[in-house]
Amino acid sequence: MSFRVTRPPAELVELGRAALDVARDQMPVLAGIRSEVAGTRPLQAQRVAGCVHLTKETGVLVELLVAAGAEVAWTGGDEVSTQDEVAAALAAEGVEVFGRRGMTTAEVEQAVTETLGAFQDGPTLLVDNGTRLIEAALSAPGTVPRLVAATEKTTEGCRRVREWAEQGRLRFPVVNVNDLVTKWEVDNTYGTGQSTVDGIVRATGVLLAGKRFVVVGFGQVGRGVALRARGMGARVVVCCRSARTAVRARLAGFPVLPPHEALVGADIVCTATGYPDVLTGEHLDALPGGAVLCNTGHSVTEINLADLAERTRETKRIRPHVQRHILHDGRHVDLLSGGGLINLDAAEGNPSEVMDITFANQALAVLDLAAGADRLAPGVHEVPAERDEDVARRKLAAMAVRIDAPTPEQLEVLTSGGHPGSLGERSGP
């Protein structure tokens, strides 16, 4: 069975085109880059395979790559995030699209394999979000004989790529488009923070004010969720294993507790780490009846679903995104979106204005690689801080926000990473 999108219904295509129109209007930075490259078509010789959540915002990025001359094949890369109407609209425009909403993990992997094999001679560039494409390319190098480089935009994905580089497995350059202030502080904190809380409210309809809301993890995503939930009146408690992030959470005014203490009396629990098995059986045993469980980290395995199944007597679908697990001891807990990404399943993902910045970084990285990937050695490469500053200034211009222009000496400090709080600073997850 192939997961290639073919002959999509006309009504679905029209819905997708309308969604893309809405996103495009809210993504002026990408529109500016598209206008710069549409005439010269610098990606004319490139075959780009992408594995990024297939939302309307991602669709605008795909349109830019096509306008720049690339042949493009794409998959959403997870179980719940693909917006079928957007997939239909892109497929109708000639993009090779693989996958659909509501896939199993095995089907996701097959769609990734199909995306990688969509071109006769394989892709020349990869645009990744969680290393599914990169890992597949490393596992089967014969399928990518012309591959020259890739980009990766998740914290966990960049950690894995660095490990592969240290092990000598990475045979091509990978540009890290995650560790940027414009990505971490805008996309992860404000974008995912808002869309996660939006997804929880849409899925459950509960009032957050007064609820005990446990956030597991306090990287940029966890911090954003905690801030948004507190802003809606929730009593937020943070769990984290890093002493550095625990200090940040405490100084931000949040109680910090070990999970077995934090989960007692929890109304809502949200994982936000990117690591598997963050909540296991021992944690589930500490939950009160009626607790809501959800995940906004990159991995669908953050909540150990096997441990939950062992404790479950029966399940009921009580709302479109809510599966009630009635446990053997009589308690019940409500699992949202099957443990997948709540912000992409029950809500619409990060706002278009946010993804305008993140995808600007990715688009510019792809254009740079097309022009000079042969000058990069295999391994992980950072985006220069000057580019981070440039994207931020493009966004400010689109927002009609003016700031003082730095002197050449100040600009050097701003982009060197030598000044605390500058755009060159690399804050930890």
What is the reported pLDDT for 418?
42
What is the reported pLDDT for 184?
87
The residue-averaged pLDDT of 39-45 equals: 96
**Binding site listing:** 219-224, 343
pLDDT tens for 367-397 read 999 999 889 999 999 999 999 999 999 999 9
What is the reported pLDDT for 421?
35
Q: How far is 175 from 375, CA to CA, in rounded Å? A: 13
Which residues, listed in sequence order, are joined to residue 235 by a DSSP beta bridge?
A: 212
From 79, 117, 116, 118, select the one nearest 95 (Cα to Cα): 118
pLDDT tens for 234-292 read 999 999 999 999 999 999 999 999 999 999 999 999 999 989 999 999 999 999 999 99
pLDDT interval class at 417 (50, 70, 90): low
CATH topology (fold) of 10-183+350-398: Rossmann fold (3.40.50)
Q: Is the pLDDT of residue 419 over 50?
A: no
Q: Is the pLDDT of residue 423 over 60?
A: no
Top pLDDT among 34 and 421 is at 34
**Binding site listing for NAD(+):** 219-224, 343
pLDDT interval class at 427 (50, 70, 90): very low
Residues in the chain: 429
pLDDT interval class at 1 (50, 70, 90): confident
The residue-averaged pLDDT of 196-212 equals: 98
pLDDT interval class at 40 (50, 70, 90): very high
In the sheet with 322-327, reading across from the earlier edge strand, the strands are: 235-239, 212-216, 268-271, 292-295, 332-336, 322-327, 312-319
Distances (CA, A) of 385 to 45, 143, 353, 369, 424: 28, 34, 21, 17, 5
Q: Is the pLDDT of residue 411 over 90?
A: no
Q: Is the pLDDT of residue 422 over 60?
A: no
Tokens standing for 186? 């805008």
Q: Is the pLDDT of residue 429 over 50?
A: no
The residue-averaged pLDDT of 156-175 equals: 96
Distances (CA, A) of 19 to 15, 103, 396: 6, 22, 25
- pTM for this model (two decimals): 0.89
Q: How far is 176 from 154, CA to CA, in rounded Å? A: 8
Cβ neighbours of residue 120 under 8 Å, at least 6 residues apart?
none
What is the reported pLDDT for 412?
79
Looking at domain 190-345, what is its CATH homologous superfamily?
Answer: NAD(P)-binding Rossmann-like Domain (3.40.50.720)
Across all residues in the chain, what is the average pLDDT? Answer: 94
What is the reported pLDDT for 137?
97
The residue-averaged pLDDT of 109-118 equals: 96
Supply angle C-alpha 40, 43, 48, rounded to 5.
160
The residue-averaged pLDDT of 403-416 equals: 80
Domain ranges of the chain: 10-183+350-398, 190-345
